[in-house]
Structure 1
């Protein structure tokens, strides 16, 4: 009898003839039953008929699988293979977030290490979610985004030996947080956009330090919170923040970013900024 591959390559009528011939030869090879009398003879005939049906049925299943081009083989997880592709999809792989950047606190400054264990875990979970969203939405020029262990609002982008400080803050708004007006003074370039839900957002590129580099800032109100995202320059190499106003406004309108903001607005990870009296 030909192989399963031979059957697969033949026309349907030719394959059916081969299958019928194989079934006849298989049942013909069965040993003859003894010549019994009476009920025993009838029982023997029924038994031979059942054996022939079982053998023929098995041959029919194999041939049908060959005609369909499917061969049941154990494949890792046990799924059948069709056309060389495993029929059962592998579970999606999960990528662990990169470890945090360690920053030593200044004298008198606290860090996340000083938080109660439950609160520290809650803030780290938010940071890890934020890293995933920012990594996916910021341009590749910002590099690899990592959280820091100093503050829930501090992150870092790194590319080509250049580190860009990222401040991402969602804190309860105070009385002085009245919106995000555009100010284009001292070389600043400002742009506004309306986000889903009618939210007005402002993005600004502004010179900092000696004026030879720029940082890019995004700000808007969401619910009860003031949202800000700042990408700073790399001072040592005199490299400005590698992100534009338009890119930050596009990021702000992303459903993933707004979902992250929504969760922080409902369950703040920062305290409301306190006003410091002058003098």
Structure 2
């Protein structure tokens, strides 16, 4: 009796307490800033005021208040950071959704159909996973050309095998369940079995992968923009701002430091949110 009583608090303590979800509030704050960027940004992110080049935070020049300073062309850094969050979040959301849909669907099909379908799909997954994702992304973007759409397509192309692996392993265990076999014997189509009986039972594991992949997509987009293979100027991008700001670190630290800090905070908040989602959905912690 005492052992049972002692184990109950231990199980409850493993659940994610409400205060562990504060990173989600930070992510939501970045999302709100990206969606309402035209309303929140004090100035046009591409407006140049050459007289106010590389001014420190808090500077007032020609009637313009630069709360976070200005860059090498006199553009307001706060406005560019707010608009830059649009690019990072748009690329992350789009690539995660696209890669998640493709990878989950192929993984479920491979785990349910088995046979030659399983062999073909999983060998393709092994080939993609054997190539470094960053290298594959750089090569593909260099061939297709840098643009927002190409960055999204490339990131989805390089990351879908992660979802396929998880969906495949989860489907293998669920496909042998009695209710799945019963649905098959009653004449349910493969499409209905996959999306009516299997998908709802693996969506938790896939969601955990998606939350963790979201932070990686933000980093990959920033890395490609830093190398000049992402979103092209004058569109504001945190990676491009870091690339430009590294030339002025000694004289204008804010140009590179502030976008880098925003990138750090967003990725950290997303990763902590992913940990909380994992703890919440993991049946061992229930």
Q: TM-score, normalised by structure 1?
A: 0.22
Bigger Rg over Cα:
1
More relative contact order in 1 or in 2 (CA 8 Å, sep 6+)? 2
Q: TM-score, normalised by structure 2?
A: 0.22
Q: Which has the higher helix share?
A: 2
